[in-house]
Chains A and B, each alone.
Chain A
């Protein structure tokens, strides 16, 4: 079995089509992307005992919500800790381990629901599943960049788009399954966990076994590296153990952390902000949200849900669009656009609310969210440009800790600021304005961090002897596979 998973077994044979690798990566990212959609289980799980309504022993939604913190904590941590192992052992082994962690996490969670033990859910999906997220997320990055040296941004953008789109498939599927399995004595969640765990396990194993790696130095037919080399794209390599000693590592860490913190902050408040700012205007009646009656409030909430759905489409669209654009614009100019345009849009969004234009307000948020997704999708190519392709997956894994940090910073900042303003008597609709300006401030930090990025200093690059030693460690003397 170990041989079947070994890196030397997956070196592409003659005639292998590199366009088979992105769908393999998508199969994994679409599966693990369901992490974003787990809230679909919260309501049924909050009445797992009471069935029709919550019983005293039922779990609180806040207790279940711990899962999100665990997901993103263990995603970042496992990507950072196991990144080098993934690089050394290859994408297939990493993909298979990710499949068993993510799929297996669902099975453990199913047992937890059946026995009504919350620890099983936290450890199953949160910890073990979270490790699957991290391994699955970084598993195709290095491989895709090596297969698409001419379109690094587009290649990683395709995979990371899948992570953004996973919940679009998983959430409605979970909803259908829970309705199917629901009985007078069960809300149907444990059965849904078993079914989805099996589906994800198979899909991710198919993806992992679809991975192939090219031999070192492989180039696409008809493509030659540009003669006019950019100083911001190296052809050499920085070892993962030295990358974090460079200022560039911490600058990219800051760039990602600020972009994601601001984006997460906006994602959480965009829909309620639309409802609070426009209130009755959304359904053609006068009055603020607090003045509306039951049915009117329900209509506004439906429009808010529509807005959230629209944003999720721009989130995944932005991933492929901006990452592909970065192949033409360059990585640093692309992030300059994210931050410079972002600052303007974040600062102008409250004015769009004051003007009373719903299309303008919605349009601003759509562009903002597209750049949030674009930031995730463009960072692997930025890392490859600066640090080389040899350890891009492992370095990406460590930089993903910025995501974990942002997952705490963004929501905490937004929630604390809002609570503080409401406590001081600021009207609910206006309380969002200051938050948007603070988030724009985070983007200013990101803008300067990006502007400070320069090529890595000569002393950090690996020597030919270092590279040879790494090739031996990574089993790169083996045979071919179709």
Chain B
């Protein structure tokens, strides 16, 4: 458990998990933005 009031963040081993989590939400978001950009370029 994290300790109350202590400036603790022991996270060095979990960055791979962080990257995976961001990829999982980032891919659909990037796809959605790409599709929207395809429509938006019709303005120009």
A218 vs B11: C-alpha distance in the bound complex, in angstroms? 14
Contact B7 A219 (CB under 8 A): yes
**A18 contacts the other chain (CB 8 A):** yes
Q: Is the CB of B35 within 8 A of A218?
A: no
Interface of A is mostly: helix
A15 touches which one: B7, B10, B35 (CB < 8 A)?
B10
Chain B residues with Cβ below 8 Å from A11 are: 1-2
A313 to B40, CA, bound (A): 9
Q: Choose from A13, A14, A17, A480 the contact partner of B17 (Cβ within 8 Å).
A: A17
B4-A215 in contact (CB<8A): yes
Using CB atoms, name the residue of chain B closest to A220. B9
Asked if A480 meets B1 with Cβ closer than 8 Å, knowing A23-B21, A169-B31, A218-B6, the reply is: yes
Interface residues on B, range: 35 or more
Q: Does A16 sit within 8 A of B, measured CB to CB?
A: yes
**Of the candidates A13, A14, A169, A310, which one forms a contact with B32 in the assembled complex, judged by CB atoms under 8 Å apart?**
A169
Residues of A within 8 Å of B40, CB to CB, are 306-307, 309-310, 313
| Whole-angstrom distance between the Cβ of A37 and the nearest chain B Cβ | 10
Q: Which of A221, A303, A479 has the most CB of B within 10 A?
A: A221
Residues of chain B with a CB closer than 8 A to A30's CB: 25, 28-29
Q: List, in ascending order, chain B residues with CB within 8 A of A165's CB.
A: 29, 32-33
B interface footprint on A199-210 (CB within 8 Å = 1, 0 otherwise): 000000010001
* Chain B positions 1 through 32: 1 when the CB is less than 8 Å from some CB of chain A, otherwise 0: 11111111111111101100110110011011
Contacts of B43 in A (CB 8 A): 303, 306-307, 310, 362
Could you tell me which B residues sit within 8 Å of A by CB distance? Answer: 1-15, 17-18, 21-22, 24-25, 28-29, 31-33, 35-37, 39-44
List 9 tightest A-B contacts by C-beta distance, closest first: A480-B1, A168-B32, A306-B42, A17-B11, A221-B9, A169-B32, A306-B43, A309-B39, A217-B5
Interface pairs (11), CB distance under 8 Å:
A13-B1, A20-B18, A23-B24, A168-B33, A214-B2, A219-B5, A220-B9, A221-B8, A223-B7, A305-B39, A306-B39
